Amino acid sequence: MIIKNDEQIELEFGKGDIRMGSTVTLYKIGYITFEDYDIPGTVNEPLFNGDVFIKSNYPITMSFTKTESIDALIGQLQYAKENMIKLINMKEEI
Number of domains in the chain: 1
Q: Are strands 60-64 and 2-4 parallel, antiparallel or unpaired?
A: unpaired
pLDDT at residue 69 greater than cutoff 90: yes
Q: Cα separation of 18 and 1, whole Å?
A: 6
pLDDT at position 77 is: 96
Q: Cα separation of 79 and 94, whole Å?
A: 23
pLDDT digits (tens, 9 = 90+) for 27-46: 999 999 998 888 777 777 66
pLDDT at position 19 is: 87
Band of pLDDT at residue 48, cut at 50, 70 and 90: low
pLDDT at position 46 is: 61
Nearest to 4 by CA among 37, 44, 40, 36: 36
| Amino acid in the structure at residue 15 | K
pLDDT at residue 93 greater than cutoff 90: no
Tell me which residue range forms the domain holding 41: 2-93
pLDDT at residue 63 greater than cutoff 90: yes
Q: How many helices (H) and strands (E) does the chain have?
A: 1, 5
Q: What is the pTM of this model?
A: 0.77
